[in-house]
A and B are shown apart, each in its own frame.
Chain A
Amino acid sequence: MTFSAWSESTASPGYAVVEGQLVVSLSLQDPPAREILDRLREGLKSEIRFDVRVYQKTSGIFRFLGDKLIGECHPAYEAQWDEFSNQFIVTTDDHRTYRFATAPAFVKFFFSLPHYATRVQLPPGRGCYMLTSIEVDATKLVPPLNMISLLVPLDRHTTAWERTRLAL
């Protein structure tokens, strides 16, 4: 397993290919930790979503159709502060729960996605690349307030899409 060097970009993507399957690592540089901690202590929930899209370049006469999307995944964490146990609780989208007694431990975990198996099988040959982006909702709106997010992205931070060439 080899990981590429962490770049200085916001999304800091790294990747490995294990038995043809893409494993990605993402981490948000300079995360809005203070803002998130404030929101959690107010009794609100926060959410982070890591967007990964894997493409294969199209060549020949069909180039005008754009590159082929091989696969995509959007793992997400939801965070909250449990004032009854004085712990930060992070729930992943596969319903696993992680508890953190200290803010630094929580921040380190929450803003990174280490070694995530995307279940995207990379095709043989060259010309594959991935686009990554991280979206942080400092306040995860509850229904029906989440209607707001349809019109205005309140309290949301989104990094630009970062392109990383995948060397097999």
Chain B
Amino acid sequence: MKLSRSPGSSVTGLVSLVLIYILLIVLILFFSNEVLQDISKESTLSNFIVLPLAVILPLFIVGTLVVNILRLVRERRTGQPGVRLKIRMIVFFTFIAFLSSIPQGILSISFINTTMNSWFSTPTRGALQGGVDIALEFINDKLTNLASFSDSVALTSMLRDINRSPNHVWTDVHEANPSISAIQVFMDNGSELFFRGDPRARMKAPFMSNREEGMLPKESNGDLSILRFLRIYRAEQDRYAVVLSTILPVGFDQKAQALTASREIFTQLDRFGAVFRIVLVLFFSFFSLPMLLLSILVSFLLSEEIMRPIVNLEEATRRVTQGDYSYRILGRSGDELALLVNSFNKMISELERSRLKIMQTEKVTAWQEIAQRLAHEIKNPLTPIKLSAQRILKKAEESREELDRILEPAVRSIITEVENLDRMLKEFRDFSKLPAPQLANVNLKELVREVLTMHEPTFRNVGFNLDGIPEGLILRVDRDQLRQVFTNLFKNASESIQGDGSVWIRADLVRKGNYQYCRIQVQDTGCGIEGEYHNQVFNPYFTTKGSGTGLGLPIVERIIFDHKGQIWFETQVGSGTTFFFDLPMET
């Protein structure tokens, strides 16, 4: 028993595709989370692995898809079973993939645009710039205030008590300008004379008092920023470095930086927004396209998976049609197709049993019929043999002269009948022991010409027309057996023609299902076959001619069947008969 098993290649393929799918998703997540952050840096993992992978993977998918498409085209050209349905399914699946991807793509791009427009809108940009301007104005106010107060005459008069009462000086300063957070006075040698105010604003001594008067660089320490102004105060012989400090609100610098960083994004968007949108769409396509291609690839494998049992069924049906009842299909368990496959296998088993039974019955019937016909055919010549022998015996008893007179014709009659018996038995032996065909490439037209040359004297009253046979038409057949077919058919045709007549032979290529055949016609202008004999034409020992054995057409039928072909005829009484037979082009 031959078995057809569904190979697991498509399952492996599906598993591979699932893995690629997961890899692609990981790649997308990695790309969006990591790569975008360090894309400008070189020698990163993203540049060496992820980005090449992001290029190679889609290329790999495209390559696999192209290979699958080419294979499908080849299958279609060679007429593989189920290929049309497979193509239809792939187109259907692809259509579905596009149907879901296109709106998704449009939605995503539109979403990106809408989100960008709303997030980075003009009011937001204006608010951000406003924030920066306010921060700048605030710090400029503080600077101006500090500078003008530090430079003022009022401060000079307040510093008069610098040596006697630091507290008094601080009280005066703070009352005059509450935004001053601290005052620190250093002596000429750099040591601190006094400090009053917010302790966070205190500078470490020694102070390099040789600095120029004016604003000192802004100091930042953690989330604290301090503005300072240096004023040199001289009293009599002494020189003092007076540092007035203003503490900015906690986290002012960080907030200002956040504002400028956000404004930077807006400025970049202003400059490169159009290009960025294009790049976004390109990247979206770059990662969506492999997904789409992957889904098309899945459609190939799914179609293959769905089609395999159907193709197996088709193959099994074809083999059964060709007479191979031993073919079985191994189905997967658990689905409806498996039930169908099991039912089919069961049906074939039943069919095989029934066929064997019928064949047995037919065989017995056929042999009974042949035995009856053979007995009848043998009995026919026995009567004249017996009569001739009895006549010789009788004349021998009566007179010697009479015996001499009838002896020769009687013996001749016996010999003729024995020869007929011998010929009949020889044909019977040929029919029953027809060997299996030995296939070889045979030029059809040459073979027909050969047959006609061999039997030219027999077919003298008939004109044969071979124009319908293409030159160079090669068939894969048993040369001797096909010669026998043409000999028998031509002999029948010539015998059915009374007087002069014609026989046309033509050959055409025909397609039946997935197979190609050569259809050969032998058409004569003979008397045709009466309707009552139509069903008996191919029966052994059936003949309407006095001299025939009735084995010519059964032998033809047997040879055609042995070549996996078919034979039939069309006839019209008084007009002629056409015998058709199909021979497979590839056996």
Q: Which A residues are closer than 8 A to B by beta carbons?
A: 42-45, 47, 49, 74, 83-85, 137, 139-152, 154
Query: 3 closest A-B pairs (Cβ-Cβ)?
Result: A146-B39, A143-B36, A148-B279
Whether A147 contacts B280 in the complex (CB less than 8 A), given A83-B136, A152-B275, comes out as yes
Q: Chain B residues with Cβ under 8 A from A144's Cβ?
A: 36
Cβ contacts under 8 Å, A141 to chain B: 40, 268, 272
User: A85 CA to B217 CA in the complex, in Å?
Assistant: 8
Question: Is B42 positioned at the interface, with any CB of A under 8 Å from its CB?
Answer: yes
Interface residues of B in 173-231 (CB under 8 A from A): 217-218
Interface-central residue, B37, B135, B136, B267, by most chain A CB under 10 Å? B267
Which B residue's beta carbon lies closest to that of A72? Answer: B43
Q: List 28 A-B contacts (CB under 8 A).
A: A42-B267, A43-B264, A44-B264, A74-B42, A83-B136, A84-B135, A84-B218, A84-B256, A85-B218, A137-B40, A139-B271, A141-B268, A141-B272, A142-B261, A142-B264, A143-B36, A144-B36, A145-B269, A145-B272, A146-B36, A146-B40, A147-B279, A149-B39, A150-B51, A151-B282, A152-B275, A152-B279, A154-B275
B43's partner among A74, A142, A152, A154 (CB-CB below 8 A) is: A74
B479 CB to nearest chain A CB (Å): 63
B139 at the interface (CB under 8 A from A): yes
Report the bound CA distance from A43 to B280 in whole Å: 24
Give Cα A120 to B267, complex, Å.
40
B478 to chain A, nearest CB (A): 64
B148 to chain A, nearest CB (A): 18
Q: Which of B43, B217, B269, B276 has the most CB of A within 10 A?
A: B276
What distance in Å separates the Cβ of A123 from its nearest Cβ neighbour in chain B?
22
Distance in Å: Cβ of A142 to nearest Cβ of chain B: 6
In the bound assembly, the distance between CA atoms of A154 and B271 in angstroms comes to 10
* Of A45, A84, A147, A149, the contact of B264 (CB 8 Å cutoff): A45
Determine whether the beta carbon of A43 is less than 8 Å from that of B263. yes
From B39, B42, B217, B256, residue with most partner A Cβ within 10 Å: B39
The answer for the CA separation of A45 and B37 in the assembled complex, in Å, is 16
Find chain A residues with CB under 8 A from B280 CB.
147
Contact at A150–B39, with CB atoms within 8 Å?
yes
Known contacts A43-B267, A139-B268, A142-B264; is-contact A148 B36 (Cβ 8 Å): no
Q: A143 with B37: in contact, given A85-B218, A148-B272 (CB under 8 Å)?
A: yes
Whether B40 pairs with A47 at a CB distance below 8 angstroms is yes
Interface centre among B132, B139, B253, B265, by most chain A C-beta atoms within 10 angstroms, is B265
Residue of B nearest to A152 (CB): B275
Contact with A along B415-442 (1 / 0, CB 8 A): 0000000000000000000000000000
Q: Is the CB of A147 within 8 A of B276?
A: yes
Residue in A44, A74, A147, A152 whose Cβ sees the most chain B Cβ within 10 Å = A147
Q: Does B260 contact A (CB under 8 A)?
A: yes
Cα distance A152–B42 when bound, in Å?
A: 16
Complex: A154 Cα to B217 Cα, angstroms: 36
Q: Which of B252-308 contact A (CB under 8 A)?
A: 253, 256, 260-261, 263-265, 267-269, 271-272, 275-276, 279-280, 282-283
B272 and A154 within 8 A (CB): yes
Interface centre among A43, A74, A142 (most CB of B within 10 A): A43
| Chain B, range 36-74, C-beta contacts under 8 Å to A | 36-37, 39-40, 42-43, 51
Contact (Cβ within 8 A) B139 A145: no
Residues in A neighbouring B36, C-beta threshold 8 A: 143-144, 146-147
Q: Which residue of A lies closest to B265 (CB)?
A: A142
Instruction: Give min CB distance, B437 to chain A, whole Å.
Output: 64
Cα A10 to Cα B395 in complex, Å, equals 142
Q: Is the CB of A84 within 8 A of B275?
A: no
Rounded to whole angstroms, the CA-CA distance of A149 and B267 in the bound complex is 17
Residue contact B282 to A145, C-beta cutoff 8 Å: no
Given A84-B139, A142-B264, check contact A147 B39 (CB 8 Å). yes
Q: In whole angstroms, what is the CA distance A140 to B217 when docked?
A: 27
State how many angstroms separate the Cβ of A110 from the closest Cβ of chain B.
17
A43 vs B282: C-alpha distance when bound (angstroms): 28
Note all chain A residues with C-beta closer than 8 A to B136: 83-84
Cα(A145)–Cα(B264), bound, Å: 11
Encoded as 1 (CB less than 8 Å from any A CB) or 0, chain B from 349 to 377 comes to 00000000000000000000000000000
Q: Please measure, in the bound complex, the distance between the C-alpha atom of A148 and the C-alpha atom of B36, giving whole angstroms.
A: 10
CA distance A140 to B39 in the complex (A): 11
Cβ contacts under 8 Å, A143 to chain B: 36-37, 39
Shortest Cβ gap from B83 to chain A (Å): 41
A152 CB contacts on chain B under 8 angstroms: 275, 279
For A84, list chain B residues within 8 Å (CB): 135-136, 139, 218, 253, 256
What 8 new A-B contacts, CB under 8 Å, besides A83-B132, A145-B265, A154-B275?
Answer: A44-B264, A47-B40, A49-B42, A85-B218, A141-B268, A145-B276, A148-B275, A150-B51
| Contact across chains for B42 and A44 when beta carbons are under 8 A apart | no
Q: Contact at A44–B267, with CB atoms within 8 Å?
A: yes
Residue of A nearest to B266 (CB): A43
Q: How far is the CB of B138 from chain A (nearest CB, A)?
A: 10
CB contact list, B115-147 vs A, under 8 A: 132, 135-136, 139
In the assembled complex, the Cα of A146 lies from the Cα of B280 at a distance in Å of 11
A47 to B275, CA, bound (A): 20
- Give the distance in Å from the alpha carbon of A145 to the alpha carbon of B40 in the complex: 10
Shortest Cβ gap from A58 to chain B (Å): 23
B40 touches A140 (CB 8 A): yes
- B275's closest neighbor in chain A, by CB? A148
On whether A44 and B276 interact (CB within 8 A), knowing A84-B136, A146-B40, the answer reads no
Which of A42, A149, A151 is close to B40, meaning CB atoms less than 8 Å apart?
A149
Measured between beta carbons, the chain A residues less than 8 angstroms from B272 are 139, 141, 145, 148, 154
The interface residues of chain A lying within 8 Å CB-to-CB of B276 are: 145, 147-148
Chain A proximity of B525: nearest CB distance (Å): 82
Q: Chain B contacts of A49 at CB under 8 A?
A: 42
- What separation, in Å, do the CA atoms of A148 and B283 have in the docked complex? 10
Complex: A141 Cα to B275 Cα, angstroms: 12
Q: How far is the CA of A152 from the CA of B263 in the complex (A)?
A: 23
How far is B51's CA from A148's CA once the two chains are assembled, in angstroms?
Answer: 14
Closest chain-A Cβ to B469's Cβ sits at a distance in Å of 66
Give CA–CA (A137, B272) in the complex, Å: 14
Q: How far is the CA of A86 from the CA of B462 in the complex (A)?
A: 120
Instruction: Decide: B279 and A151 in contact? CB cutoff 8 A.
Output: yes
Which of A43, A47, A146 makes the CB contact (< 8 A) with B260? A43
Residue of A nearest to B273 (CB): A145
Shortest beta-carbon distance from B456 to chain A in Å: 79
Nearest A residue (CB) for B139? A84
Smallest distance from the beta carbon of A41 to chain B beta carbons, Å? Answer: 11
Decide: B260 and A83 in contact? CB cutoff 8 A. yes
